[in-house]
């Protein structure tokens, strides 16, 4: 069963209006009301859950449910381990789309309706829902509930047509929320080195200072975090720190939000950066500027600039003196 022209036009009109929403939550009660009319059901809800903190962070209801029927901004502790919540866990690799009548016949669903709190209160006889967003610890879910009829193939196709647009709306809202986090951090200290990245390590935004530190420590130039940080970010929680040490200098990376990082650097007593120390090490091996540039995949002028800065910090004026000074400080 294909969607009718009317269904497609209504869906596109809904998507166009939904993209006008400006905020950290992608859907409003008005938009959910329109979805209940489009799908032909009594209830449509949108929720966001934080699995790390085990709390519901967002719940948007349709008018049929009403504000006073909305659960409080927390759920019972057993919810986080209950089987019915599995499809919402970010780490779970099960289906992202659920239609209850696919797995339970009408009699079973009516029995379920009469014995479970939410379904008994709202007289829900069928449920259709899908995941619209997922990060490492957060997930979102858009759901439709029917009191009378079973959802059919037309409803499935309509849900699948809505899903990618809802995903795009969620990404926009999440980006705004992360930008708010970033601005809050920048407001705390405008000189901070800040990185906003995606789960796969692609850098969405970085300050000039962050770019300098990533390049100095890891040679990062391709718009991605270095592999060491990608692997760490995958499991990091806000407040966690990654520390890298090279020749007495220390780079600290703090997770301050969902894929929002602050970088800071502490120099050794010489004040040399890791890159300057690396170049001086190659000088000590007898390499020329051209050979060093070829080894590090940089321009010879970049090598010369690093050496000039290193000479100034060490108080010397030649390659030989710089190597001798480093050897002296090492003892």
CATH for 320: 1.10.10.10
Is there a single domain that holds both residue 291 and residue 261? no
Is there a single domain that holds both residue 122 and residue 229? no
Is there a single domain that holds both residue 137 and residue 88? yes
List phi, psi (to 5°) of 236: -75, 150
Taking the mean position of all CA atoms in its chain, how far away is CA 170? 11
Q: What is the span of the domain harbouring residue 83?
A: 5-179
The domain boundary, picked from 217, 250, 266, lies at 266
Strand, helix or coil for residue 19: coil
- Round to whole Å and give the CA distance between 204 and 223: 8
Is there a single domain that holds both residue 110 and residue 249? no
Query: Could you list the pLDDT tens digit for every one of the 331 residues in the chain?
Result: 578 999 999 999 999 999 888 778 899 999 999 999 999 999 999 998 887 777 888 889 899 886 555 444 445 555 556 555 544 555 544 568 899 999 999 998 888 777 766 666 778 899 999 988 777 677 889 999 999 999 999 999 999 999 999 988 988 888 777 766 666 666 555 567 888 887 788 887 788 888 888 988 887 667 889 988 988 888 787 788 999 877 667 889 998 877 788 898 876 666 787 788 889 889 988 999 999 999 888 899 999 999 999 898 888 888 988 888 877 765 5
Is there a single domain that holds both residue 58 and residue 155? yes
List phi, psi (to 5°) of 238: -50, 130
Is there a single domain that holds both residue 24 and residue 142? yes
Q: Return the structure tokens found at 29.
A: 């009660």
Residue 138's pLDDT is: 78
- Residue pair 129/94 in contact by the 8 Å Cβ criterion: no
């Amino acid at each position: 069963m294909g969607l009718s022209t009317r269904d497609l036009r209504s869906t596109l009109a809904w998507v166009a209006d939904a993209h006008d929403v400006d905020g950290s939550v992608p859907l409003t009660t008005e938009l959910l009301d329109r979805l209940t009319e489009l799908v032909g059901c009594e209830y449509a809800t949108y929720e966001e859950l934080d699995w790390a903190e085990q709390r519901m962070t967002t719940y948007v209801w349709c008018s049929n449910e009403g504000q006073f029927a909305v659960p409080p901004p927390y759920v019972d502790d057993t919810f986080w381990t209950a089987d019915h919540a599995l499809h919402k866990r970010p780490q779970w690799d099960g289906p992202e789309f659920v239609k209850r009548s696919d797995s339970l016949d009408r009699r079973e669903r009516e029995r379920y309706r009469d014995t479970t709190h939410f379904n008994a209160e709202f007289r829900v006889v069928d449920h259709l829902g899908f995941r619209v967003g997922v990060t490492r610890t957060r997930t979102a879910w858009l759901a439709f509930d029917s009191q009378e009829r079973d959802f059919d193939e037309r409803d499935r196709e309509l849900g699948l047509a809505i899903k990618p647009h809802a995903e795009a709306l969620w990404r926009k809202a999440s980006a705004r929320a992360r930008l708010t986090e970033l601005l809050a951090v920048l407001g705390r200290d405008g000189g901070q080195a800040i990185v906003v990245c995606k789960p796969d390590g692609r850098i969405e935004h970085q300050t000039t200072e962050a770019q300098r530190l990533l390049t100095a420590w890891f040679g990062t130039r391709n718009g991605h975090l270095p592999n060491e940080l990608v692997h760490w970010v995958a499991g990091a929680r806000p407040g966690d720190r990654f520390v890298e040490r090279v020749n007495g200098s220390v780079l600290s990376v703090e997770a301050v939000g969902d894929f929002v990082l602050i970088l800071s650097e502490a120099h050794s007593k010489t004040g040399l950066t890791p890159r300057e120390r690396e170049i001086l090490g190659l000088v000590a091996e007898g390499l020329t500027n051209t050979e060093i540039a070829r080894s590090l995949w940089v321009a010879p002028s970049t090598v010369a600039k690093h050496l000039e800065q290193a000479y100034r910090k060490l108080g010397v004026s030649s390659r030989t003196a710089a190597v001798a000074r480093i050897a002296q400080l090492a003892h």
